[in-house]
Homo-oligomer: A and B are copies of this chain.
Amino acid sequence: MTEAAEPAVEPAEDAYALDAAVVDAILAAVEVGARERLVALLNPLHDADIADLLEQIDQPLRARLIALWGADIAPYAITELRSGVRDLVVPLLSPEQLARVAEELETDDMVYLVEDLAETDQEKVLDALDDADRMAVERSLTYPEYSAGRLMQRELVSAPEHWTVGEIIDYMRASDDLPDEFYDVIIVDPRHRPVGMVALSKIMANRRETRLDTLMNEDFRIIPADQAQEDVAYAFNQYHLITGPVVDAQGRLVGVITIDDAMEVLEDEAEEDMKLLAGVGDEEIADRVWETARARFPWLAVNICTALIASAVIALFSGTIEAIVALAVLMPIVTSMGGNAGTQSLTVAVRGLATRDITSKNMWRVVRREVIVGVLNGAVFGMLIGAVGFIWFGTPMLGVVLWLAMLLNMLVAGLVGILIPIGLDRAGADPALASGVFVTMSTDVIGFLAFLGLASVMLL
């Protein structure tokens, strides 16, 4: 490596973003159909960055790029695509491109490519595989979606308990079908059930005659093939696993999951929670206007219903508002603060459940804390806004009404903010799902009811 080619050692402003000039050059090459230039430009890029580029352009341009790329296509650029774009791109692949993809990918990546395709498209891709691989992929597809069985790869290195360091090294040197990269050797009993795992670094550090079962990793966890991928990702993060052996219902080793796959799931699950909380569904940046509008429609539809319920509550007090118009001016403050406080509790609860920090053991302590926090902040902010209301409209009692309504609403906000996600979790649903809509409905209804109701009683 020469002095000039040395990489920058200062962190870049825009670290790891695609270079706009390169993107322009690539798109220009596609525009004029300059195949060799396109290949030369794509070659130095990482497959994941090519995937990002494919996500950022529109479908007609994607089709032209894929066609022009031809047999030089990078199989991993396709597996790196987000699912929405992946399902648009895979049907574009020519038989020649499919053959290249099939030859290079491991089974977990093949499963990812075909799992959501229409049956005829799926058939076309599977036909490009040899019989053994095809069977392996079809077997993986029998596991439920989002399960360990879908996530695992079948390529792995296992050894019987009595083997030594020397034997496994000789075995690996002789084998020409090792996985691309692996970090552990799975130790199995005669019935092919995993009993332990030895890290490659341990094998390298020991003499040839050392038995493998004396080097086994203490942190060894077996993953059932139908375990939810969310739980798998949690286990990897919690226990710092690098490799997780996956077993079938009989406890036999059928594959392994590695930490890089788990990392992707962890990221996806966090993203899903965030989007569910905001009611965005599984839309992606690459989606078009129509898909995006449709993805956001359901949550907005639910919200309009809850907003109407809140309006109905206000309508109950039309007479009071007609008498004291200041109520209409001040009432959104009560609901806005309640909605915010509720969202705060809700977010903490959803994260706490995702990271298993809320358990049946400490649940009631957490609920109690949320309620007390609601009362504390409600008292303080209620007092503040009560003073503002008093000064603004010159009615001391209006200040008292504001104060009480705020206190009550922030108490309720804390309570529903924590109880709704916990309740959904207990019921087996995703705690982030639609929690927001229930929480803001509660704080809107209680907020208007408390404020206007108290005003009717205390001010008229």
**Least Cβ–Cβ distance between A267 and chain B, in angstroms:** 6
Question: Mask for A321-341, Cβ within 8 A of B = 1, else 0?
Answer: 110011111111101110011
Complex contacts, A330 vs chain B, CB 8 Å: 311
Distance in angstroms between the alpha carbons of A396 and B257 in the assembled complex: 62
Q: Does A238 contact B (CB under 8 A)?
A: yes
Determine the distance from Cα of A99 to Cα of B364 in the docked complex, in whole angstroms: 37
Task: Verify A201–B183 contact, CB threshold 8 A.
Answer: yes
Q: Which of B263, B288, B318 contacts A325 (CB 8 A)?
A: B318
CA distance A201 to B242 in the complex (A): 14
B-contacting residues, A217-237, CB 8 Å: 219, 222, 224, 226-228, 231, 234-237
Q: How long is the Cα–Cα vector from A251 to B202 in the complex, in angstroms?
A: 30
Stretch at the interface among A14-22, A31-39, A129-137: A14-22
**A375-395 vs B, Cβ < 8 Å mask (1 yes, 0 no):** 011001100110010000000
Q: Is the CB of B279 within 8 A of A308?
A: no
Tell me whether A222 and B285 are in contact in the complex, defined as CB-CB below 8 angstroms, given that A52-B357, A175-B205, A321-B328 are known contacts. Answer: no
Q: In the complex, what distance in Å separates the CA atom of A381 from the CA atom of B293?
A: 12
The reply to whether B332 and A325 contact each other, CB–CB distance below 8 Å, is no
Of A89-97, A100-108, A296-304, the one touching chain B? A296-304
Cα A273 to Cα B347 with chains together (Å): 11
**CB of A172 within 8 Å of the partner chain:** yes
- Inter-chain contacts of A351 with B (CB < 8 A): 271, 274-275, 285
Q: Which residues of chain B have C-beta atoms less than 8 A from A182's C-beta?
A: 201
| Interface contact B263-A304, CB-CB below 8 Å | no
Q: How many monomers of this protein are in the complex?
A: 2
Q: Are B263 and A307 in contact (CB under 8 A)?
A: no
List, in ascending order, chain B residues with CB within 8 A of A83's CB.
Answer: none
Our pick among B15, B239, B304 for the contact of A385 (Cβ within 8 Å) is B304
A-B contact pairs, 20 of them (CB 8 A): A9-B251, A15-B235, A16-B235, A46-B239, A48-B239, A56-B359, A169-B204, A242-B259, A270-B271, A274-B347, A275-B348, A279-B344, A284-B357, A289-B376, A293-B373, A299-B340, A300-B377, A303-B337, A304-B385, A308-B385
| A-B pairs with lowest CB-CB distance, top 10 | A270-B270, A278-B347, A11-B227, A328-B328, A200-B200, A285-B357, A15-B231, A307-B333, A307-B336, A285-B352
Query: A interface vs B, CB < 8 Å?
Result: 1, 6-11, 15-18, 20, 23, 46, 48-49, 52, 55-56, 169, 172-173, 175, 178-179, 181-183, 189, 193, 195, 199-207, 219, 222, 224, 226-228, 231, 234-240, 242, 247-251, 259-260, 262-264, 266-267, 270-271, 273-275, 277-280, 283-286, 288-289, 292-293, 296-297, 299-301, 303-304, 306-308, 310-311, 314-315, 318, 321-322, 325-333, 335-337, 340-341, 343-344, 346-348, 350-352, 355-362, 366, 369, 372-373, 376-377, 380-381, 384-385, 388, 440, 444, 448
**Contacts A46-B239, A293-B373 known; 8 new A-B pairs at CB < 8 A:** A6-B193, A200-B200, A200-B201, A278-B346, A280-B347, A293-B377, A300-B377, A304-B384
